Structure 1
Amino acid sequence: MLPLDVTVLNYALTLEHLENAFYHGALEKFSEQAFVDAGMPGFARRRFEQVAAHEATHVKFLSTALGDKATQPCTYNFPYTDVRSFAALSQILEGVGVSTYTGAAQFISNKEYLTAAASILATEARHESWVSSAINRFAGWSGAFDVPLGLNEVFTLAAPFITECPTTNPVLPVHPFPKLVLHSPSPGQPTHIVWADNDARGATHIAFYTGLNVIPVPIQDGSVVVPADVDGTVYAVAITSDSDANDSTIVAGPAILLFERNSNNVLIESSQAN
């Protein structure tokens, strides 16, 4: 196995460990009645059990492929407090999983591993679609394309859930960016930017990721106008460029933005998820 393939598969395994812990921890905490009391269908918990089994299988598959090079699970802290907040976070994590595999595919040289990663990607997308539509009552997609995220961008989103990892784990060549907060974002409307790190104040634009498109919008007086035609899950990063969003220009983010519309394309929810 080539060194880059090892790194990318361990990167994927890091996220699979996180998802595996997330589902098993929640299912240990919440009974079937808790799901029903939260207004969900009676089958909801049993479907989540199946999702949990898929994530455990992904962990086993990647761990077997990597052998003694496989990263081990960490200790995690997930901020759900009830079944509804668990389901909301499930949608987010599955979406990040889809963007992880979509963005990382370009780095896998072994065609067998690439095929396996594509198969996992498809399953993660099915998870996200089911949670979004059957449980959270939103559309099961964000348009014709999903967003590919870079390695550092995904690690930025995963890092807040990780409290401690084994010291023997291989060191991944990734680092998190500072947090980006957009106050009450809404399509076509200006939103105030809250900087979590003073170093990020050098940003000149906010780049909005929607599908395969990157839309840079200039920052003016501490605010930015959200593009009017975005919907579903959109990611936003602060950049020091007027066009390019990459590891050398990103200074904060990604922020996860949710712009959910009903079947008549009417906005029903607009928020930042992280």
Structure 2
Amino acid sequence: MIGNILLYGVLALSNLLPVQAIPREYTPTTTFSAAETVTPTVVPQRNVTSHGPYTGPPATTAGALSTSVIASVIQARPPVPGSFNYTADGKLHGPQPAPFTPNGGIGTNGSAPVYRVQSDFDYQSLALALYQEWIELDLFHWGLKNFTTKQFEANGINAKDRFLIEYMADQEIGHATLLTNMLGPQAPKQCTYNYPMSNVREFIDFNQKLTRWGEAGVYGFLPHLNSGPAAQLLLQSITIEARQQLIFRQFGGQFPMPEWHTVGIPQSWAWTLLAPYISSCPINQTRLVWQNFPALYILNQPNPARINASAAFNETTGGWANTLSTKNISSSQLCFNATNKTLDCSPAITQNRSIPLSYPGRQVFLHWDNPGRLVGPNNSYVTSTTVRRPRFAAWVSQLNVTYSPLLNVSRRDNTAFTFQPNVSTWDHDPAINGTMFLALTDTNLHVTPYNLSLINPHVAALAVYQAG
């Protein structure tokens, strides 16, 4: 059931694949000729004409998709037996299956790959990724339509830049087609959306945050998919999304990639951050199993539109994404207007701002929602948490999860503050940098990138933090 990435030629694999896996007309082949080939069709898409909050009737189904639940949490366990058996000495330790081929690996025995989901985990993960691709397709088009040429150019976004945004929207058609074909007829369709921005600068910032949690959400589940072939194709799409995130940072006058490693997050984190911006979806739309956490508001979220980004207070458009707002910033404080090039944030391949957006030891003021808020398509999902009192701020960036204690915690007002930790991933590589994630937790559970989802039962609220 694979579509938009296929080549047609004389060496077909269709006879090697299970009948139910991939229709013959969508079978990947090797092309030995430069002759004109038949181009597979893309998934149907439309220009969404309705935007704004959901105003329809209450949903008849509420909450995440669920079946019988075996346990309240997945228990942490030691490494699987044999994890330390291989001797990493650079020598070969087994017979080679073919010349120039080392022993081992997954999916390397010559079996034909089947490009379809193989488990509930696969389906729900790829369905989440498809929801993300659909919103990006609409969001890029929405910005180009909603803001005038004059407004874009007043923010340094010229005609060539706008064409790049249009081209990135076209890329999402391919990504949506790829995922739809691997998921099958019940794959999620386009929805309507509600965006938290009113000008070009806010549009650019929301895009760079949305594409960050889009790529980070896929990096989090990609190595866990049962279907290696599906993971391969999704990997070749998500690397494009990573470049989109870099482009939007450049459009916003930020250094394109201040981190040495890109963070990965659990699916429930990506769905939490995405769902509030989906207004309504078609009847009988595929539902997701992932949790929606309450919103975390970073009251002094660094504002990249400011000359001194860290001086911001209550300058976001709301929780979760904590997208910047330019509403209350004077013209003299907008870094786009700065005549000193060390303070300027005009669109550029790279910018080196002399005043950092954030810094170790910075006091960060927080407020969070109670659970029970209706969010997502048709207001049919409900935010939830089992945490009664958060005790830590979990800073999730690069390869690290770093905890800092919450201070002056008020359960009545759901407020607290913490201090940004001073920690590095490697020497000369500050761990807390770039567009990253901040969660409130009730414990400082030890987790690493591969098992980060074990932290989910301990998360009280979640947000994007703009550290750099």
Interval of TM-score (by shorter of Structure 1 and Structure 2): 0.7 to 0.9
Is the contact made by 1:99 and 1:147 (CA closer than 8 Å) also made in structure 2? yes
Alignment partner, residue 94 of structure 1: 211
Deviation string, structure 1 residues 179-215 (Cα, Å, up to 9, x no partner)? 1123215431222221222776601101001111000
The aligned residue for residue 251 of structure 1 is 460
Match of 1:190 among 338, 350, 363: 363
SS at match of 1:202: coil
CA displacement at 1:114 relative to structure 2? 0.8
Measured after TM superposition, the shift of residue 166 of structure 1 is 2.4
Q: TM-score, normalised by structure 2?
A: 0.53
In 2: Cα distance, 1:235 partner to 1:17 partner: 23
Contact kept, 8 Å, 1:87 with 1:136, in 2: the verdict is yes
Q: Does 1:177 align with 2:293?
A: yes
Contact 1:191 1:225 in 2 (8 A): yes
Aligned to 1:238: 440
Partner residue, 1:80: 197
Matches within 5 A, 1:97-112: 97-112=214-229
Per-residue CA deviations over 1:205-256 (Å, capped at 9, x if unaligned) read 0100111100011112122111234221121000011234611111111x11
Greater Rg, structure 1 or structure 2?
Answer: 2
Query: Structure 1 residues 52 and 82 mapped into 2: Cα distance closer, same or farther (>3 Å)?
Result: same
Q: Which amino acid aligns with 2:467?
A: F
Identify which of 182, 185, 192 aligns with 1:68. Answer: 185
Q: Secondary structure at the match of 1:172?
A: coil
Q: Which runs of 5+ in 1 are unaligned?
A: 261-274
Report the 3-state secondary structure (helix = DSSP H, G, I; strand = E; otherwise coil) of the residue aligned with 2:131. Answer: helix
Q: Which moved more, 1:146-155 or 1:63-72?
A: 63-72
Aligned identity (percent) is 24
Q: What amino acid does structure 2 have at the position aligned with 1:190?
A: Q
Match of 1:226 in 2: 420
Q: Output the CA distance in 1 between the equivalents of 2:291 and 2:178.
A: 26
Provide TM-score, normalisation by structure 1.
Answer: 0.88
SS at match of 2:185: helix
Relative to structure 1, is the Cα distance of residues 201 and 5 closer, same or farther in structure 2, using a 3 angstrom cutoff? closer
Q: Is the 8 A contact 2:217 2:269 kept in 1?
A: no
Judged with a 3 Å threshold, the aligned counterparts in structure 2 of structure 1 residues 175 and 143 are, in CA distance, closer, same or farther, namely: same
The answer as to whether partners of 2:445 and 2:455 remain within 8 angstroms in 1 is no
Give the distance between the partners of 2:167 and 2:148, measured in 1 at CA.
Answer: 15
- Greater fraction strand: 1
Structure 1 counterpart SS, 2:287: coil
What SS does the aligned partner of 2:159 have? Answer: coil
* Equivalent residues of 1:8, 1:107 under 8 A apart: no
Task: Work out the CA distance in 1 between the residues paired with 2:153 and 2:264.
Answer: 35
Identify which range, 238-247 or 42-51, moves more after superposition.
Answer: 238-247
Indicate if the aligned counterparts of 1:90 and 1:131 stay in contact, CA closer than 8 A. Answer: yes
Q: 2: CA distance between counterparts of 1:197 and 1:7? A: 26
| Deviation at residue 64 of structure 1 after TM alignment | 2.1
After TM superposition, the structure 1 = structure 2 runs for residues 28-177 of structure 1, keeping only pairs within 5 Å, are: 28-133=145-250, 135-177=251-293
Range moving further from structure 2, 222-231 or 74-83: 222-231
More helix as a share of residues: 1
Question: Partner amino acid for 1:239?
Answer: T
CA distance in 1, matches of 2:239, 2:297: 30
Identify the range of structure 1 (186-195 vs 150-159) with the bigger mean alpha-carbon deviation.
Answer: 186-195
Whether the aligned pair in 1 keeps the contact of 2:271 and 2:292 (CA below 8 Å) is yes
The amino acid of 1:125's aligned partner reads A
Alignment root-mean-square deviation, CA: 1.8
Paired residue secondary structure (1:43): helix
Q: What is the deviation of 1:8?
A: 1.6
Question: Match for residue 271 of structure 1?
Answer: none
Distance 1:23 1:183 in 2: 28
Distance in 1 between the 2:297 and 2:198 partners?
Answer: 22
75-84 vs 184-193, which moves further: 184-193
C-alpha distance in structure 2 between counterparts of 1:37 and 1:183, whole Å: 28
Please, which of 135, 156, 173 is the counterpart of residue 18 of structure 1? 135
- Tell me the secondary structure at the aligned position of residue 27 of structure 1: helix
CA contact (8 A) 1:218 1:242 kept: no
SS for the counterpart of 2:418 is strand
Deviates more, 1:244-253 or 1:234-243: 244-253
User: Deviation per CA, 1:140-179, whole angstroms, max 9, x where unpaired?
Assistant: 1141111111111111101110112223122211121011
Shift of 1:111: 1.8
Which segment drifts farther, 225-234 or 75-84? 225-234
- Alpha-carbon distance between aligned partners in 2 of 1:25 and 1:121, rounded to the nearest angstrom: 22
